[in-house]
């Protein structure tokens, strides 16, 4: 018998055919917003993008030529799921400088950290599995794990990151333990906060007491503009931390090269999950990243980024002081790419967003970063790495005008 979704000549009812989990997927608000803001006249602080004019294009070109001349048979061939061995050796060595002691065998190269988040969802999350995260949190993680029908249990952030003193109280109220705790300790996306060492140690103490795993997502750790490096959680508790790194912010996001490091048992499961996803990350891109890293170019590049982005952060903050209405406030990130700004309460950053874009400037409204949509109404995330200094000043000025005009309508 032929069963038609609608009628033999009507349109197919795709919605009806979707898996249950697909129905809970939403497209990322940021990606949708970026579409509107791609027009060149819009000064966008919305994306999390590095400065394209700083990409080490010539060095990458040299790496490509070198590889194609000297190692074309391996560079263009399939390779192992775990990833290019010399790159994993380089990563093991460079993470050891931050106190993360794992062998290259405990590293899996991923197609950006975003794939790492997805693979974690694939191996850990059943429908209704609870996971603990700070709130606000990284939108891409919400998106990845919602697809596996995760439930988010949230812990509020303050100006030092996750309020870990609320962790134990939250755990005690839960019927079952969460599958893992998701932490963004360095230069939080979106909040710009840095978790102090005492709080990292407290997360570990609680994780050990309740036998929990920690997922430490650290794309920005190398981009510190002031202060001292703080020990990663993976260095304090290597036995129960899964650490995610990426070249997206320190080299180029277009290569799509990230990595996961963690206990061998879990890396094995992740390797199996990755085999079904893409067999392996691009061999050629891994070899390019490796070549650039091994020749010391990455180190020089990161040094340059620290200087330029640190200056852009300061320029943005100075412009906010000059142009924004009284009652506004913002975080002072010690690194990373984002400021989290609050504007006076009557203003709703989502409601005014259309007006903001009409004024040729953009941010991401704060509410998007709350898994339950229950906060950030007067907040916004601003990226300071992508725009040039004069655009930053102009964009912040435009925003200030919209905010002041909006406040006038509220009085």
Q: Which residues bind ligand PLP (CB under 6 A)?
A: 48, 112-114, 138, 140, 184, 189, 217, 219, 246, 248, 253, 258
Count the residues in the chain. 411
The H or E element that residue 134 is part of is strand 130-135
Q: Which CB atom, from 337 or from 403, has the smaller least distance to ligand PLP?
A: 337
- Cα gap 286→115, rounded to integer Å: 15
Q: Which CB atom, from 217 or from 291, has the smaller least distance to ligand PLP?
A: 217
Q: Which CB atom, from 190 or from 400, has the smaller least distance to ligand PLP?
A: 190
Q: Are 409 and 74 in contact (CB under 8 A)?
A: no
Q: What is the CA radius of gyration of the chain?
A: 22
Beta sheet of 329-330, edge-to-edge order: 329-330, 338-342, 379-383, 364-365
Q: Which CB atom, from 328 or from 386, has the smaller least distance to ligand PLP?
A: 386
Measured from the CB of residue 337, what is the shortest distance to ligand PLP in angstroms? 8
Tell me which residue has tokens 């061998």. Answer: 264
Q: Which CB atom, from 119 or from 356, has the smaller least distance to ligand PLP?
A: 119
- Cα gap 399→98, rounded to integer Å: 39
The total of other beta-carbon atoms located within 10 Å of residue 61's CB is 11
Measured from the CB of residue 116, what is the shortest distance to ligand PLP in angstroms? 8
Q: Which CB atom, from 83 or from 140, has the smaller least distance to ligand PLP?
A: 140
Measured from the CB of residue 38, what is the shortest distance to ligand PLP in angstroms? 17
- Kindly give, in sequence order, each residue whose CB lies less than 8 Å from that of residue 228, ignoring residues fewer than 6 positions away: none
In this structure, the dihedral spanned by the alpha carbons of residues 233, 238, 239 and 243, taken in order and rounded to 10 degrees, is 70
Measured from the CB of residue 30, what is the shortest distance to ligand PLP in angstroms? 9
Q: Which CB atom, from 243 or from 377, has the smaller least distance to ligand PLP?
A: 243
Q: Which CB atom, from 249 or from 398, has the smaller least distance to ligand PLP?
A: 249
Q: Are 137 and 182 in contact (CB under 8 A)?
A: yes
* Residue with nearest beta carbon to ligand PLP: 112
Strands (E), 272-378: 329-330, 338-342, 361-362, 364-365
Measured from the CB of residue 405, what is the shortest distance to ligand PLP in angstroms? 31
Measured from the CB of residue 289, what is the shortest distance to ligand PLP in angstroms? 12
| Rama region for 82: left / alpha / beta (φ>0; ψ in -120 to 50; rest) | alpha
- Cα gap 150→216, rounded to integer Å: 18
- Cα gap 327→341, rounded to integer Å: 11
Q: Which CB atom, from 297 or from 337, has the smaller least distance to ligand PLP?
A: 337
Q: Are 243 and 322 in contact (CB under 8 A)?
A: no
The total of other beta-carbon atoms located within 10 Å of residue 388's CB is 14
Instruction: Locate all alpha helices (DSSP H) within 177-296, ordered by sequence.
Output: 197-210, 233-236, 264-278, 283-294
């Amino acid at each position: 018998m032929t069963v038609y979704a609608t009628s033999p000549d009507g349109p197919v009812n795709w919605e009806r055919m979707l898996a249950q989990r697909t129905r809970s997927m939403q497209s990322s608000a940021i990606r949708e917003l970026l579409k509107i803001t791609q027009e060149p006249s819009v000064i966008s602080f919305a994306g999390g993008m590095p400065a394209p004019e700083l990409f080490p294009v010539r060095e990458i070109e040299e790496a490509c030529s070198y590889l194609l001349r000297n190692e074309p048979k391996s560079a263009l061939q399939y390779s192992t799921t775990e990833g290019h061995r010399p790159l994993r050796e380089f990563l093991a060595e460079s993470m050891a400088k931050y106190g993360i002691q794992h062998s290259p065998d405990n590293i899996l190269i991923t197609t950006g950290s975003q794939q790492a988040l997805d693979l974690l969802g694939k191996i850990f999350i059943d429908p209704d599995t609870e996971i603990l995260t700070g709130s606000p949190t990284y939108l891409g993680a919400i998106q990845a794990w919602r697809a596996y029908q995760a439930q988010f249990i949230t812990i509020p952030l303050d100006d030092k990151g996750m309020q870990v003193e609320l962790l134990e109280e939250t755990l005690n109220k839960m019927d079952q333990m969460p599958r893992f705790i998701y932490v963004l300790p360095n230069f939080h996306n979106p909040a710009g906060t840095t978790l102090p060492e005492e709080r990292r140690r407290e997360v570990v103490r609680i994780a050990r007491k309740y036998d929990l795993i920690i997922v430490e997502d650290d794309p920005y750790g190398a981009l510190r503009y002031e202060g001292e490096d703080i020990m990663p959680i993976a260095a304090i508790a290597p036995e129960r931390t899964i650490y995610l790194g990426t070249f997206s912010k320190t080299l180029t996001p277009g290569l799509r090269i990230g990595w996961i490091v963690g206990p061998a048992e879990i890396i094995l499961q992740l390797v199996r999950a990755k085999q079904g996803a893409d067999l392996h990350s691009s061999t050629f891109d891994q070899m390019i990243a490796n070549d650039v890293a091994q020749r010391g170019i990455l180190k020089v590049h990161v040094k340059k980024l620290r200087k330029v982005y640190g200056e852009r952060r300061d320029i943005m903050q100075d412009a906010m002081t000059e142009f924004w209405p009284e009652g506004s406030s913002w975080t002072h990130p010690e690194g990373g790419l984002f400021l989290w700004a609050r504007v006076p309460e009557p203003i709703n950053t989502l409601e005014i967003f259309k007006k903001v874009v009409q004024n040729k400037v953009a941010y991401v409204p704060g509410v998007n970063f709350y898994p339950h949509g229950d906060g950030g109404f007067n907040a916004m995330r601003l990226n300071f790495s992508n725009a040039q200094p004069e655009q930053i000043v102009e964009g912040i000025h435009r925003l200030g005008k919209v905010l002041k005009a909006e406040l006038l309508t509220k009085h």
